[in-house]
């Protein structure tokens, strides 16, 4: 192996390592928890979502709706940043049902998946 080939391989390996480091750092910074830390807070009854401010004392009730694979994660992140004083709906797949505060939990899914879940097993 020539020194030029060895040098190119070393550079390629270093580039892969750097690319992996960049990817891992970006992934760590893009999570729901981190996004809520940056964009949601609640102090003295005032909820801040990005640049919008909501005085929670002016509302009788605050409802939160969270839908999808990350529904529980989003509701938990909201509770960490703004407290657990919300009511609402969390719609998740059947396998993700967990009780969260005052939220009603609805199992969701593609209709044929829900139907098949309750059907008797079939042999093919």
Element (H, E) at 14: helix 3-29
Q: What are phi and psi for residue 59, nearest 5 degrees?
A: -110, 140
Q: pLDDT exceeding 90 applies to what percent of the chain?
A: 29
| Residues 7-18, mean pLDDT to the nearest whole number | 93
Tokens, residue 97: 């049902």
Report the 10 Å Cβ neighbour count for 21.
10
pLDDT tens for residues 55-79? 999 998 888 888 888 888 888 888 8
pTM: 0.58
CA-closest candidate to residue 31, choices 82, 70, 84: 70
Tell which phi-psi region holds residue 97, choosing left (phi > 0), alpha (psi between -120 and 50) or beta: beta
- Beta strands per DSSP E along 70-121: 87-93, 102-108
């Amino acid at each position: 192996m020539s020194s030029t080939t060895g040098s190119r391989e070393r550079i390629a390996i270093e580039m892969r390592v750097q690319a992996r480091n960049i990817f891992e750092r970006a992934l760590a910074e893009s999570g729901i928890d981190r996004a809520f830390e940056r964009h949601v807070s609640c102090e003295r009854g005032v909820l801040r979502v990005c640049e919008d401010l909501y005085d929670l004392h002016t509302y009788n009730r605050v409802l939160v709706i969270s839908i999808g694979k990350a529904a529980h994660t989003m509701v938990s992140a909201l509770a960490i940043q703004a407290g657990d004083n919300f009511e609402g709906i969390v719609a998740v797949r059947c396998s993700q049902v967990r009780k969260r505060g005052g939220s009603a939990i609805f199992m969701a899914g593609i209709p044929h998946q829900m139907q098949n879940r309750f059907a008797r097993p079939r042999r093919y």
